[in-house]
Amino acid sequence: MSESRARLTRREFMARACAAGASVCLGPGMSLPSLASASGWREASWYRRLPGKRVHCVLCPCNPFMRQCGVLSDGQTCYCRVRTNVGGRLYVTNYARACTINVDPVEKSPLYHVLPGAKALAIAAPGCNLACKCCQNWKMSQAGVEETRNFYAPPQEIVRRAKEAKCQAIAYTYTEPVIYYEYLLDTARLARKNGMRNFVSTGGYITTDPLAELCNYVDAFSVSVKGFTEDFYLKYCRGHLQTVLQTLKAIRAAGVWLEIPVLIIPTLSDDMDRIRWFCSWVRENLGPDVPLHFTRFTPEYQLRDLPTTPVQTLESARSAAMKEGIRFAYIGNVPGHDANNTFCPSCKKLIIQRVGFRIYSNKAPGGTCSYCKARLPGIWS
Amino acid sequence: MASVLLLIAASGLVAAVAQVVLIRELLVVFDGNELMLGLFFATWLFWVAVGSLLGGLVSRRAGLRPLQVMLAASGVLAVCQVLMVRTLRQWLGFEFGQILPAGQAVLAASAALAPLCLLVGAQFAVACRVAAPLSADAARRVYVAEGAGFALGGVLAAFVAAPHLSSVQAAVALALVASIASWAGASVGGGRIVPHWSALLAALIAAFAALGGPARLETGSLRRLWRPLSVVDCVNSPHGNIVAASRAGQISFYVSGKYVASAGDALAAEQTAHLCLLQHPRPRTALLIGGTASGIIPHMLSHHLRRLVYVELDARLIALVRRHSRDEFTGFSDPRVEAVFADARQWCRQSSQQFDLILVSVPEPATVLLTRFYTLEFFQQARRLLTPAGVLVVSLPAHADYFSEEDLALQGTVYRTLKAVFPNVLVTPTSQRFFFASAGNGISLDPNELFHRFQERRVAAQHFHPYLLYDLLPPDRVGRVQDALRQIRAPLTTDFAPVACFRAQRLWNLAAASIPPSAMRWLDDHPWQAMVGLLSLFAVPGLAGSARRGRRLALLGGLAAFGMAGMVVEVALLLAFQVIWGHVYAHLGLIVAAFMLGMVAGGVIPGVKRGLVEKAWASWAAVLGIAAAYLLILPHAIRVPPTPVGALWFYALVSSAGLITGLAYPVGVALLPGETGGLAYGADLLGACLGALVAGAFLLPVSGVAQSLHALAGLFAALAAFWLIRPS
């Protein structure tokens, strides 16, 4: 299917949405859910029906900072912008509405211990359940379906494109994959059937049961941590740090590969004591083999007037992580930096050299160090 | 009468300087785009209008004393409000570095500006009331005196306060001038110097200044404003406030509160330099416009350039960067580098040099001043300066993996404008979109070709590896971006219709979540409907019925239309000046003074005084007609050559605009029974408030100067016809 033909125009979307909305006016003779389905919406998989045509979405932890979250009245849309209560049923409006589809190296996710140099078909649908003021993808994540330019791309289409582009995996990334959970899950099942892997880059704001189901189909998670205090998450992300930490533990407990990008924002999350605390938390709760990526902040979205993170701060954070016992600590968003590379924790030699998101040299084929034969944790084949 | 005129002239002076100082401070706290600038001016005018209306209501038995108190208080308030603006962010609960939505910015600006503005507006109404029994045309004389004071204040603000004083120093100086003027107001009437409380106040302020109080206040309030960064250097230039602030050993540079670059951090600059220089097969000479603080020069030179000319508007910014950066970072000391401190547009017009590459490294076109580097006329100038295979580079912030409607709109207009001048235009799919334009065939987005050029040149790069080219320019994304931009239909951005400015504000608005994006999109798509809606606001009351109350409304509507048109014309003239002569800063004071002097002249024309009594209605219709004719010819008349004769002609046009405004106010007031001036002044200011809001942010960029002024001419012609057909 060509992109121009597959793309759902705003006019079409509005027409379909209006059709669903109009049913409210047309009275009891019309079936609201059937109209919502006609508009291309998909019924959500994680919610409870409540009396009075209310619903309780249980996909994400209820966000106490947002008025429209958790329990939704008829006609209300959750603050993630893509889950709407239509006549007492919860519908997902961004199912199969991809706002971007690209072929990316897996290193972009960032996943440094997963199939180095492999290609993944990266997709995203609009919306997010956090409101991070530092978001790099805010034009897609802080908008609903009607505010973004989308393509109609059902799971079959995604898998077909991935095969066509000779991708080894599908990466659910850019925005928050949790809020296109149903789309993700259907695509992931189909991808797995077709011998492809699934990688998810997320903010980790999800409840336990949906996460457990997701873990059955996902091969690797990249869960970004944006700060180290509840206060930071409350002020700058409208969320809870504790929930993210629980997600990290659950993923690790499920045995799914995990890497953690850690954004270091000058003045907001560059306190070395907090960074040390987080590293020690990772070592104790997740183990020393979970790679940390200390990522450089560049002025973006609503934090445009903060300076970029000094490379020296990132180096200090990395060094603190190593001292706390983390075996793989990287520096991200600084192309050409030595800490973009993987060093063998055993013989300390450079084994995977990266330039940007490309693999320049790999001395650990199959995840074994060519020099000392030590096994590296991760997914290597 | 002399005391009243002296006091109101001083009030005008205080208002002019305080306006410049406070709005400059607000721009440091909030974003300085055209929309915010318009909002701040509109907020100022709105509260002055409210002050004038309230002053007219409560000043039934006003005397000279309240005027003296208000004048002295407005000086002291100016100091308090500068300090208040610097704490606004903490009050609103916003951390440093965060952009604020326009709604909150207006509320904050209101809180910061309202007390002083209310006083300024009330002083005018009270002055009119006090002067009314003393003169038959008191309102006109007060209007003229205030205008003269404002003109002088404008000159002082442009030539003394902005370039040489810190905001606190300027405000303290104002407080001193206001208290001395208040004292003088008490003394002038009796013809001798009298002991007065304002003299004591002046002495106290002088002592405070002599003991170094302003410097301590400045330091303390700056520390609070920039927390959690530490201010290590702060200078004011005619172009803005420049600050060097440090955090974790890294010094970052800010201009008017906007982050520019960090000393020693040239990661992005290096990538930019290599990506751009590789576009020319063999670059030998380059011109860099802006962006020198980012440390880009050494990386450009690493491509074996023989000569690099950089043009920066603000020499003080470069001096500050030099003070806090190493030479290897800035590259300023390299013998191949030639520095030019001038307006780049003006320099490009006059230069006859030839370059292989012109890199325009200025921020996105969020103001009309910046949009001058994205227009058809500038691209034509640039092509003249390029060698046959030369490359022009401009850039816009974007998203590497996604095109929003707003991105497409902005990039579409820049792409089409470039295509109108250059046969070959390529756009990178990077998060900073680079537009490479050339008349030759050397530009390329093929990573293999660029890799080869990089290797061939043996460039000594620090953080850049040619392998990165494959990440930056994947062929599928390159193709997608070119396809999307080729298909888009967008208007060209020109000097006199800088549509890119509005579209950059649409993008800013998307991040700031201020106005519904769909509303901004509608304005962009339907400029004529928006124009008709705007003019209807003035046409409906302006063409009100023939009943006595209706005529009063019609007159107030007409005065408001004059206020609005005055503001639109002022912005159009400033835009024209920038286009013809380059940056406006050095001449801003003169332009404001020329306008205000024209206004004063309009108010003192003897024939008007007689006309007020004898043929008031005909005079009003005539003034409306003159305004219509002026607006009709102005778009053609402002296209003058940049010669001394052209400058004289330009200033004559500015004074004419002031003259017509000056004519309108006394004539309008004379026709309002029982009106001493406050209500009419309020109507005039409310119109100006709306004009400030729409002129730079929307009307002139989207509709263009000619269409906007012609539409206004139509409004005034209709109003003139109405008064001619239906005389009283």
For A100-121, what is each residue's pLDDT tens digit?
999 999 999 999 999 999 999 9
Alpha carbon distance A290, B614 (integer Å): 91
* CB neighbour burial string for B380-396, b if at least 16 within 10 angstroms, e if fewer: ebbbebbbebbbbbbbb
Highest mean pLDDT among A339-343, B63-67, B256-260, B326-330: A339-343
> Which one has a higher pLDDT value, B64 or A51?
A51
Interface of B with A in 337-366 (CB under 8 A): none
Chain B residues in contact with A356 by the CB 8 A cut-off are 465, 467-468, 470-472
Alpha carbon distance B390, B388 (integer Å): 6
Alpha carbon distance A250, A9 (integer Å): 39
Chain B residues in contact with A354 by the CB 8 A cut-off are none
pLDDT score for B545:
59
Q: Which of B226, B262, B467, B487 to mutate to test the interface with A (most CBs of A within 10 A)?
A: B467
Alpha carbon distance B45, B117 (integer Å): 8
Residue B462, chain A, CB below 8 Å: the answer is yes
This model of the complex carries an ipTM of 0.87
Q: Which of B28, B243, B267 to mutate to test the interface with A (most CBs of A within 10 A)?
A: B267
Contact between A212 and A64 (Cβ < 8 Å): no
Q: Quick one: DSSP state of residue A234?
A: I
Residue corresponding to tokens 């693999």:
A359
Q: Nearest CA to CA, how far is A320 from chain B (Å)?
A: 16
Alpha carbon distance A164, A48 (integer Å): 39
Element (H, E) at A55: strand A54-57
Contact between B56 and B523 (Cβ < 8 Å): no
Q: Among residues of chain B, what percentage have pLDDT more than 70?
A: 93
pLDDT score for A316:
96
Determine how β-strand A358-362 pairs with β-strand B307-312.
Answer: unpaired
> Which one has a higher pLDDT value, B151 or A363?
A363
Residue B411, chain A, CB below 8 Å: the answer is no
Q: Which of A103, A139, A268, A354 to mutate to test the interface with B (most CBs of B within 10 A)?
A: A139
- Rounded (10°) CA dihedral B192, B197, B199, B200: 150
pLDDT score for B190:
57
Alpha carbon distance B163, B240 (integer Å): 8
Is the pLDDT assigned to residue A64 strictly greater than 60? no
Alpha carbon distance A306, B96 (integer Å): 7
**pLDDT tens across B350-380, in order?**
999 999 999 999 999 988 889 999 999 999 9
Short-list A149, A147, A286, A310, CA closest to A225: A286
Q: Which of A24-28, A52-56, B213-217, B510-514 has the lowest mean pLDDT?
A: A24-28
The mean pLDDT of chain A is 89
Question: Which chain B residue is nearest to residue A100, measuring alpha carbons?
Answer: B402
Nearest by CB to residue A308, choosing from B262, B404, B510, is B262
Q: What is the 3-state secondary structure (H, E, C) of A283-316?
A: HHHCCCCCCEEEEECCCECCECCCCCCCHHHHHH
CB-based contact A356 B96, cutoff 8 Å: no
Is the pLDDT assigned to residue A1 strictly greater than 50? no
Q: Which of A146, A308, A337, A338 to mutate to test the interface with B (most CBs of B within 10 A)?
A: A308
Alpha carbon distance B314, B339 (integer Å): 11
pLDDT score for A5:
37
Contact between B658 and B25 (Cβ < 8 Å): no
pLDDT score for A29:
43
Nearest by CB to residue A303, choosing from B98, B268, B464, is B98
Is the pLDDT assigned to residue A346 strictly greater than 70? yes
Residue B465, chain A, CB below 8 Å: the answer is yes
Residue B135, chain A, CB below 8 Å: the answer is no
Interface of B with A in 506-535 (CB under 8 A): 510-512, 517
State the pLDDT confidence band at B249, using cuts at 50, 70 and 90. Answer: confident
pLDDT score for B387:
97
CB-based contact B474 A306, cutoff 8 Å: no
Considering only CA atoms, give the Rg of chain A.
21
Contact between A317 and A264 (Cβ < 8 Å): yes
Is the pLDDT assigned to residue B337 strictly greater than 70? yes
Short-list A140, A68, A131, CA closest to A97: A140
Residue B618, chain A, CB below 8 Å: the answer is no
Backbone angles phi, psi at B158, to 5 degrees: -75, -35
CB-based contact A358 B471, cutoff 8 Å: yes
Q: Nearest CA to CA, how far is A99 from chain B (Å)?
A: 7
CB-based contact A303 B464, cutoff 8 Å: no
| Average confidence (pLDDT) over B449-475 | 91
Question: Which chain B residue is nearest to residue A131, measuring alpha carbons?
Answer: B511
Kindly list the residues of chain A whose beta carbon comes within 8 Å of any beta carbon in chain B.
99-100, 102-103, 105, 122, 124, 133, 137-140, 143, 147-149, 174, 235, 266-268, 270, 298-299, 301-308, 310-313, 334-337, 355-358, 360
Tokens for A179, please give them. Answer: 């809020």
Residue B265, chain A, CB below 8 Å: the answer is yes
Residue B326, chain A, CB below 8 Å: the answer is no
Q: Which of A355, A358, A359, A360 to mutate to test the interface with B (most CBs of B within 10 A)?
A: A355
Q: What's the Cα-to-Cα distance from A348 to each of A180, A259, A269, A351, B122, rounded to whole Å?
A: 41, 20, 29, 9, 76
Alpha carbon distance B564, A94 (integer Å): 45
| Average confidence (pLDDT) over A182-194 | 97
Contact between B428 and B480 (Cβ < 8 Å): no
Question: Which chain A residue is nearest to residue B258, measuring alpha carbons?
Answer: A305
pLDDT score for B380:
97
Residue B294, chain A, CB below 8 Å: the answer is no
Nearest by CB to residue A149, choosing from B98, B403, B510, is B403
Contact between B412 and B433 (Cβ < 8 Å): no
Question: Which chain A residue is nearest to residue B468, measuring alpha carbons?
Answer: A356
Alpha carbon distance B700, B711 (integer Å): 11
**pLDDT tens across B558-583, in order?**
889 999 999 899 889 988 988 888 76
CB-based contact B95 A137, cutoff 8 Å: no
The mean pLDDT of chain B is 87
> Which one has a higher pLDDT value, A271 or A66?
A271
What is Dmax (Cα atoms) for chain A?
74
Tokens for A147, please give them. Answer: 């505010």
Contact between A132 and A194 (Cβ < 8 Å): no
Q: What's the Cα-to-Cα distance from B651 to each of B185, B366, B660, rounded to whole Å?
A: 33, 27, 14
Chain A residues in contact with B104 by the CB 8 A cut-off are none
**Total-model pTM:** 0.89
State the pLDDT confidence band at A256, using cuts at 50, 70 and 90. Answer: very high
| Average confidence (pLDDT) over B428-447 | 95
Alpha carbon distance A173, B151 (integer Å): 58
Question: Which chain A residue is nearest to residue B267, measuring alpha carbons?
Answer: A334
3-class DSSP assignment, residue A371 = coil
Strands ordered across the beta sheet of B424-427: B337-341, B307-312, B285-289, B355-360, B386-397, B432-438, B424-427
pLDDT score for B589:
72
Interface of B with A in 44-103 (CB under 8 A): 95-99
Highest mean pLDDT among A208-217, B19-28, B63-72, B217-226: A208-217
**pLDDT tens across B44-65, in order?**
989 988 988 888 777 666 677 8
Chain A residues in contact with B31 by the CB 8 A cut-off are 304
Short-list A370, A355, A374, CA closest to A117: A355
Q: Which of B402, B483, B485 to mutate to test the interface with A (most CBs of A within 10 A)?
A: B402
**pLDDT tens across B157-193, in order?**
888 887 788 889 999 999 999 999 888 877 765 555 5
Contact between B81 and B116 (Cβ < 8 Å): yes
CB-based contact A174 B402, cutoff 8 Å: yes
pLDDT score for B512:
86
